């Protein structure tokens, strides 16, 4: 390998390790936030107001059914975000081991794209919540079609992962013929 490429590869490995540590912190933060939200939805003491995803509500105004709906969507949102960061964490792990153009890396990118699509779907589901749960109110001027952008971007990431997988297969085939 050319010395310049070796230096680039070491840089990729080093930056990937740093970003992987950041991802680990974000994953821990997501788990903490989901636990706080679940505790709040189950009637824990503390703040009575919750918001996000362009909605506002007071927990004490929610019935048990409403809490299950809103809590389930909060958990789903946190789960999808966790999935996205987890696959990014795994991808960076591959990169930190210099496994860049591999089928495994392509699969992690594909799963990252799938998580992005799911995040867009959940954004659409949040738009429906005020129609199902009367105590939940939409924030005026909220972005109505933010979910569409997330779905389109996710599908683009999935398509790129397919190209990357084909390139990895071609590289493996080329290495076998040499």
Are 136 and 130 a contacting pair, CB within 8 Å?
yes
Residue 25: how many CB atoms within 10 A of its CB? 10
pLDDT in tens, 50-103: 666 677 787 878 888 988 888 888 889 889 999 999 999 999 999 999 888 899
- Domain carrying residue 88: 3-177
* Averaged pLDDT for residues 13-24: 95
Assigned token pair, 59: 């927990």
Dihedral (CA of 56, 57, 59, 62) sign: negative
CA-wise closest residue to 13 among 108, 93, 103, 89? 93
**What's the chain's length in residues?**
178
Q: Please report the pLDDT score of residue 20 as a whole number.
A: 95
The 3-state DSSP composition of the chain as helix, strand, coil percent (nearest 5) reads 75, 5, 15
Q: What are phi and psi of 56, to 5 degrees?
A: -135, 145
With a CB cutoff of 8 Å and minimum separation 6, the contacts of 20 are 89, 92, 93, 96
> What's the CA gap between 81 and 174, in Å, rounded?
37
Backbone Cα Rg of the chain: 21
Number of domains in the chain: 1
Q: Please report the pLDDT score of residue 129 as a whole number.
A: 87
CA 146 to chain centre: 15
pTM of the shown model: 0.83
pLDDT in tens, 129-140: 888 888 888 776
């Amino acid at each position: 390998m050319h010395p310049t490429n070796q230096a680039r590869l070491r840089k990729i490995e080093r930056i990937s390790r740093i970003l992987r540590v950041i991802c680990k912190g974000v994953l821990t933060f997501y788990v903490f936030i989901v636990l706080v939200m679940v505790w709040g939805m189950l009637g824990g003491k503390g703040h009575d107001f919750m918001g996000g995803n362009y909605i506002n509500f007071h927990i004490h105004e929610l019935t048990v059914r409403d809490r299950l709906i809103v809590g389930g969507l909060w958990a789903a949102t946190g789960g999808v975000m966790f999935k996205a960061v987890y696959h990014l964490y795994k991808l960076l792990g591959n990169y930190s081991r210099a496994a860049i153009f591999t089928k495994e890396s392509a699969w992690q990118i594909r799963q990252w794209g799938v998580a992005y699509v799911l995040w867009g779907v959940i954004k659409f589901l949040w738009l429906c919540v005020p129609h199902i749960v009367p105590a939940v109110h939409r924030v005026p001027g909220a972005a109505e079609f933010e979910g569409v952008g997330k779905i389109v971007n996710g599908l683009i990431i999935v398509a790129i992962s397919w190209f990357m997988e084909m390139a990895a297969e071609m590289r493996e085939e080329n290495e076998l013929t040499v």
